[in-house]
Amino acid sequence: MTLNIELVDQETQTVMFIRTRTSFADMPKLIGESYCKIAAYLGEIGEQPTGMPYAAYYNLDMQDMDLEMGFPVAKQLPGKGEIKPCEIPAGKYVTHMYKGPYTQMEQAYNQIFLWMQEKGCQPTGVYYEYYYNAPDEVPESELLTKIAIPVK
């Protein structure tokens, strides 16, 4: 399988997010709940997301994942409780639009890491995934996830 992998310049993205730790097994439920909380808060203050929901993975420890879930927004907004404002930094990102089940993304990541090694790109330690649809909307084979890895 040959992937369309690109090195792109990404602008700063203002976001509202929740960051927590969880196990891989509990992650799907936690992500859904977090998106609902953030969307409800944005509705309360009369704001809308400006892009696809994302998750940022700060480690890949399946028993103790350091995870951030959020939405891009148009401007800096006040936080509320566990919902915080932040920015995803501008910079160089290696990206790939993955199509298929989440359970098979490891193959795509392995090819991306190989591509990065061949091009001399060093990951900064965080991995972003932007979700263009959801398992309750389309069959698993049609799931679209943009993988974006900041590099130096």
Residue 34's nearest CA partner among 51, 47, 21 is 21
pLDDT in tens, 46-101: 999 999 999 999 998 889 999 999 999 999 999 999 999 999 999 999 999 999 99
Domain membership of residue 10 (yes or no) is yes
Read off the tokens for 126: 């965080």
pLDDT at 135: 87
pLDDT in tens, 114-146: 999 999 999 998 999 999 998 889 999 999 999
Structural domain count of the chain: 1
Q: Which domain holds residue 114?
A: 6-150
Domain membership of residue 84 (yes or no) is yes
State pTM to two decimals: 0.93
CATH, residue 13: 3.20.80.10
Domain membership of residue 1 (yes or no) is no
